[in-house]
Amino acid sequence: MHHGTAVDRQWVVTLHNGTIVVDWSEGMFLDVMNGTYLHASEGEISHRAQDAELDWLRRAGRVESFDEQKVYFINLPDQPFKTLD
Residue 84 pLDDT = 57
d(CA 5, CA 77): 9
Mean pLDDT of the 11-29 span: 95
Mean pLDDT of the 49-55 span: 97
* % pLDDT > 90, the chain: 75
